[in-house]
Structure 1
Amino acid sequence: MKLIKIFSFYFLFLSTLIMAQDRKVTKTGEVNFEASVPSFEEVAATNTSVSCILNAKTGEIASLALIKGFRFKVALMEEHFNENYLESNKYPKAIFKGMLKDFNIDKLGSTLKEYEMKGKLDLHGKSKEINTTALLRRNGDIIEVITNFIVNTDDFDITIPKVVSNKLSKKINIKSKFLLR
């Protein structure tokens, strides 16, 4: 009986190690967004503590950004962003869950390779399907993932007050970069 317990524990430990090798992760990914309009002050922010996980066998990918982690050049913009636009106390996270089509880790090299990425972005209490491309490359055990796509504030019920509507774009450019280990 003792031998069965030891074997079971060893098998469980070994399978956990094998599964961990299929997952590439970071907690220090970067997401930038820009909602600037020409001739007005830049409206842009960066979050450098975004988590991302990639299942290297299946191509499933997910990321999580805490809304309060976005930093602006102007503190007042950051305050308005959190309190008025994204309501970060009520909706503290942005989550993306998706799939890289035809992903094969063995085909990644040192040059960027383009993959179709489809998934769902949950933001401000709403969900929206996202279809875009992701650029990936491999350097040893590190996989770099780069994305760039546009979302519309109306799709997530983010209200822009009339007083600033001409200074802020409804089309938000979102760029991300992850170094997964």
Structure 2
Amino acid sequence: MKRTALILLILMLGNTIFSQKMITRTGLVTFEASMPSFEEIAAKNNTASCILDKGTSDFVALVLIKGFQFKSPLMEEHFNENYMESSIYPKATFKGKVLNFDSKKLTTTKSVYDLEGDLTIHGVSTKIKTKINLNLASGKVVATSSFDVKPQDYKIEIPNLVKDKIAKNITINFNFSLVDQ
């Protein structure tokens, strides 16, 4: 009995010591789709999840669509029901890699890496290539990035009535503070 408990304890400690994954469940994802001289179309979601595997450089993020908050409740309703159809497509995901990443070289100074992977929104996946900033801050790895997407690439239909009021390229930003798992 003592031997089994000791083996279990060693396995659990080994898993914790050699764990390469960093995680957050309180990441911030924002998007901006405003056009000049029209109403602001922007939202934020501060409940995004992200995992960075320091050993494999895998980078995975998940955002629940209904978690996006707008200034206007009506705009939020239209976003969820008419455009994103969040009851059918409840989440957006990114699965990719940080290229040439070496966690041992991270410092408090931002380092820029290439980030490549598949972004899935509205049930449609597309390849994304962008830059990601990584740095250490208070024992955490901070990951930030910004990139543009086009609604039509994800089969998100914009009615003709409002087509000129929504940007053709929507800017997505994320900020994740990742801690060891």
Q: TM-score range by the shorter chain?
A: over 0.9
**CA offsets 1:27-81 (integer angstroms, 9 cap, x no match):** 1100000111111111000001111111112211111100000000111110000
Runs of 4+ in 1 over 6 A off after TM superposition: none
For residues 17-166 of structure 1, what are the structure 2 equivalents within 5 Å? 17-20=16-19, 22-166=20-164
Instruction: Give the Cα–Cα distance (whole angstroms) in 1 for the partners of residues 3 and 98 of structure 2.
Output: 40
Return 5+ residue gaps in structure 1 as ranges: none
Q: Which amino acid aligns with 1:12?
A: L
Return 5+ residue gaps in structure 2 as ranges: none
Instruction: Give the Cα–Cα distance (whole angstroms) in 2 for the partners of residues 150 and 97 of structure 1.
Output: 17
SS at match of 1:159: coil
The count of residues paired between Structure 1 and Structure 2 equals 179
Instruction: Give the Cα–Cα distance (whole angstroms) in 1 for the partners of residues 4 and 79 of structure 2.
Output: 54
When the two structures are superposed, what TM-score results if normalisation uses the length of structure 1?
0.94
**Which deviates the most, 134-143 or 92-101?**
134-143
* Amino-acid identity (%): 43
Instruction: Give the Cα–Cα distance (whole angstroms) in 2 for the partners of residues 140 and 73 of structure 1.
Output: 32
Instruction: Give the Cα–Cα distance (whole angstroms) in 1 for the partners of residues 138 and 105 of structure 2.
Output: 13
Q: Which amino acid aligns with 1:5?
A: T
What's 1:16 paired with?
A: 15
For residue 7 of structure 1, report the CA deviation from its aligned partner.
4.7
